[in-house]
Amino acid sequence: MGAYVAGGSEFNRDTNYIATRITADGRDGYPVEPGRYRLIVARACPWANRMIIVRRLLGLEDVLSIGFCGPTHDQRSWTFDLDPGGVDPVLKIPRLQDAYFARFPDYPKGITVPAIVDVPTGQVVTNDFMQMTLDLSSEWAAYHRDGAPALYPEPLRAEIDEVARRVYTEINNGVYRCGFAGSQGAYESAYDRLFSALDWVSDRLATQRYLVGDTITEADVRLFTTLARFDPVYHGHFKCNRSKLSEMPVLWAYARDLFQTPGFGDTTDFVQIKQHYYMVHTDVNPTGIVPKGPDLANWLTPHGREALGGRPFGDGTPPGPTPPGEQVPVGHGAG
């Protein structure tokens, strides 16, 4: 997150990312190797949050290290202000842009997270968030933990891709289309598109526990990170206010079901989420004031979705405890 193009009154996301891939056969020059790469994220960012969730569900923590940027950034770059001295302890850089410039000295685009960096060279490999989670599921399969779920199972890939595409264009990106609209007409059109899509996923989820099949897949990860940010940020900050998530019964139960599943709620940092949006988007919120609400304890209430059946991890098992140093800080979650 961090790059967008405001063309006219409608918000358009710049989707021309670094398309290099880390693959099992190394065809782009970057073979999958344990310990070679570092995933750089910010907990605030929904696209980065997806990578955090998938890495945890698949058990890749010991294979792919992780570095956390702080929740805010300036015009230049995400920064490592959570680390001692403001420097990433592995890459030894204060700004993520240093890894981008190491590979592309004249890199002209936004410095976005998530990004994967090649530790030996200090160079960014990819920031293509649409492909990165899929590759963790497929190209990194040899290093998945025992009991890792199939988040992108081959028989369901076409349907997952189709659902994920609509979730991305209409919901993940739809909230931004509302928030950064430059005219009343553009905003109202974006608002209608967003809630039409939320009604669509709500109808789909009314009779099935997960978006595709009877287990958690990539499609659910992609929808969850937007739903988690809906009431704390998008409802007010981005004017997505037809209703709160907590007022949409099916989606609210679905979101709580996932939140209470290991890998989802335990990677969600509501404090950093609110700090990022309300402090960085000074064009939307010039005062930089971060709202105190909403009360988040309701995320932990019973959801009743078990009645729809489904098996969260299929034939697999839940991930183990969050590794030391990767836990969401106390007081930053729900409850």
Determine the Cα–Cα distance for residues 182 and 250; give it in Å rounded to an integer: 32
Set 37, 45, 191, 278: catalytic member: 45
Count Cβ neighbours within 10 Å for each residue of 8-44 and write b for 16 or more, e otherwise: eebbebeeebbebbbbeeeeeebebeeebbbbbbbbb
Q: Minimal CA–CA distance to 170: which of 142, 201, 130?
A: 201
Q: Do the beta carbons of residue 210 and residue 153 sit within 8 Å?
A: no
CA distances from 190 to 10, 15, 154, 184 (A): 9, 18, 33, 10
For the CA atoms of 159, 251, 40, 278, what is the dihedral angle to 10 degrees?
Answer: 140
Q: Which residues contact 184 (CB under 8 A, 6 or more apart)?
A: none
What is the phi-psi region of residue 122: left when phi exceeds 0, alpha when psi lies from -120 to 50, beta otherwise?
Answer: left
Q: Residue for token digits 């979101």?
A: 255
Determine the Cα–Cα distance for residues 279 and 271; give it in Å rounded to an integer: 12
Is 176 known to be catalytic? yes
Set 152, 176, 234, 277: catalytic member: 176
Cis peptide upstream of residue 94 (ω within 30 degrees of 0): no
Is 152 known to be catalytic? no
Active centre residues (catalytic) = 45, 176
